[in-house]
């Protein structure tokens, strides 16, 4: 299933690990890197690298937090569009597998 997801996400120049972060931000709203790392039980440096790659692609952006050290991220308009397109294809794949 993960291989099929990676193939599907490859059309959008994404991988499953990048998709997980997009999915989290879309479903839980603006959040911190710590919140994502706790949710997926992944080390914070891994999430930091993933978020940096998504920022470079223009899918995520940082917004000011209450503390300068805290990075709050949210989806950009492009990120919202990519989420919507991927979500449609993933839902179709899920129905196909079921």
pLDDT at 67: 78
Over residues 39-92, the pLDDT tens digits come to 999 999 999 999 999 999 999 999 887 777 778 999 999 999 999 999 999 999
Q: What is the pLDDT of residue 98?
A: 81
Q: Which domain holds residue 38?
A: 2-90
Task: Please count the CA atoms within 13 angstroms of the CA of 36 that sit on its side-chain side.
Answer: 29
pLDDT the model gives residue 70: 79
> CA 78, CA 13: separation in Å to the nearest integer?
13
46 with 35: CB under 8 angstroms? no
Which three-class secondary structure state does DSSP give residue 8?
helix
Q: What is the pLDDT of residue 4?
A: 87
- pLDDT (tens digit, 9 = 90+) per residue, 2-33? 888 889 999 999 999 999 999 999 999 999 99
Longest distance between any two alpha carbons in the chain, whole Å = 46
Answer yes or no: is 58 within a domain: yes
Domain tally, the chain? 1
Q: What was the pLDDT predicted at 68?
A: 75
pLDDT attached to residue 60: 97
Asked whether residue 98 is assigned to any structural domain, the reply reads no
Report if residue 66 sits inside a domain.
Answer: yes
d(CA 87, CA 72): 23
| Cross-sheet strand order for the sheet of 31-32 | 31-32, 72-75, 60-63
For residue 44, give the CATH number of its domain: 1.10.10.10
In the prediction, which pLDDT does 97 show? Answer: 82
Indicate whether 31 belongs to any domain.
yes
């Amino acid at each position: 299933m993960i291989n099929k997801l990676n193939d599907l996400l490859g059309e959008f120049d994404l991988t499953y690990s990048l998709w997980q972060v997009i999915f989290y931000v879309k479903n839980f709203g603006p959040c911190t890197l710590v919140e994502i790392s706790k949710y997926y039980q992944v080390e914070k440096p891994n999430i930091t690298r993933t978020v940096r790659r998504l920022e470079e692609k223009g899918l995520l952006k940082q917004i000011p937090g209450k503390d300068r050290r805290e990075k709050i991220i949210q989806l950009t308009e492009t990120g919202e569009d990519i989420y919507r397109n991927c979500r449609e294809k993933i839902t179709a794949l899920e129905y196909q597998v079921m």
